Amino acid sequence: MNHDRRPGRTPARTVTRPAAGAAGRPAASAVALVPATDGLPGPAAEAGPSRLREERTCNDDRGQSGTEPPGPPPAALFPGCPLSAGAPVTGKKAVAGLDGTGRLADDLYLMAHNDVSGRPYLQPRALGLGLAGALLAELVLAGSIQARPQGLVVISHAPAEEGLARSVLGLVLSERERHAAGEWLQFVSRTAAAGVASRLGESGYLTRVSSRRPWRGERWVPVDSDCAFIPLTRARASLDPSRPVTAAGAVLVGLAAACGLGPRLLAYAPPGGRRSPEAAAAVLPAGLRYLIAQTRAAVDSAVLAHRA
């Protein structure tokens, strides 16, 4: 698969993309975990899963049990993040780079979309749940929260400069009662894709274009296909048994497999012996493993509900 030779396109840089290989049996190997930090905490925002429970109860009372209530617009769910129309942008215009933004959810979003057209490889529900898991994992990696079977626990109230991470942490802080990770995944997933896409737009990686069909409105497309493809190359390094895996890399491949991107990820895995996404994620702390497992369970449940 090579997108660099397209009519009318002159790439500004050359990126060597690994060829998709045949699926093989992963080789067992020792994994060295290299800590990596990502995402930042922030102040309180508005109510979270409690509100979702109330909406579901109202729908059940109306005889609509099993249907997903319409969520609030992104600007209402994530106050303070760059989702509201006309949000001021200060400083110079951001430019995409091959180094990426350094944020877990941004890399997962780009991996889940075509690097040229921007079309998703996943159903909206699976994409939203995967990105919700990534947004929560950003806060775990930053030391802001912990994911436990009893619920999410805030361990740091330190402020953050990044708006979306600040807003997600604010949602957790605003809840008086503790909610399970699965409930937070369901709640945050409703506008996670819009929030992450807007963040990537402000960082210079995505831009909005009008559809050829007026009734479809605008959609996000990559500004540079090489920059949009490179997260898959970074994830590939976590599957290489000859290289150490970082905490962020292990979470990225674990969440990618959990939300349905496993085949796409393994197609670009190192040829021959390789580390499976599950093996990479197995070296993570218990809280991150639990968050990945809850994301997988939520996605599996959503897929089954969609087929029913």
Domains within the chain, CATH numbers bracketed: 40-54+94-307 (1.10.3630.10)
Task: Give the residue ranges of DSSP H helices in 142-243.
Answer: 163-174, 181-202, 225-237
Report the pLDDT value the prediction gives residue 211, as an integer from 0 to 100. Answer: 73
pLDDT in tens, the chain (308 residues): 444 433 344 344 555 566 554 443 333 333 344 444 333 333 333 456 765 555 544 444 433 333 333 333 333 333 333 322 223 333 455 777 888 899 999 999 999 999 999 999 999 999 999 999 999 999 999 999 999 999 999 998 886 668 999 999 999 999 888 999 999 999 999 999 999 999 999 999 999 998 777 767 788 999 999 999 999 999 999 999 989 989 999 999 999 999 999 999 988 888 877 889 999 999 999 999 999 999 999 999 998 887 76
Report the pLDDT value the prediction gives residue 279, as an integer from 0 to 100. Answer: 92
Report the pLDDT value the prediction gives residue 59, as an integer from 0 to 100. Answer: 40
Phi, psi of 222, rounded to the nearest 5 degrees: -65, 140
Contacts of 165 (CB under 8 A, 6+ apart): 39, 40, 41, 42, 103, 135, 138, 139, 142, 144
- Kindly state the tokens that stand for 185: 């995944």
Residue 141 to residue 134: CA distance in whole angstroms: 10
Left, alpha or beta for 292 (phi > 0: left; psi -120 to 50: alpha)? alpha
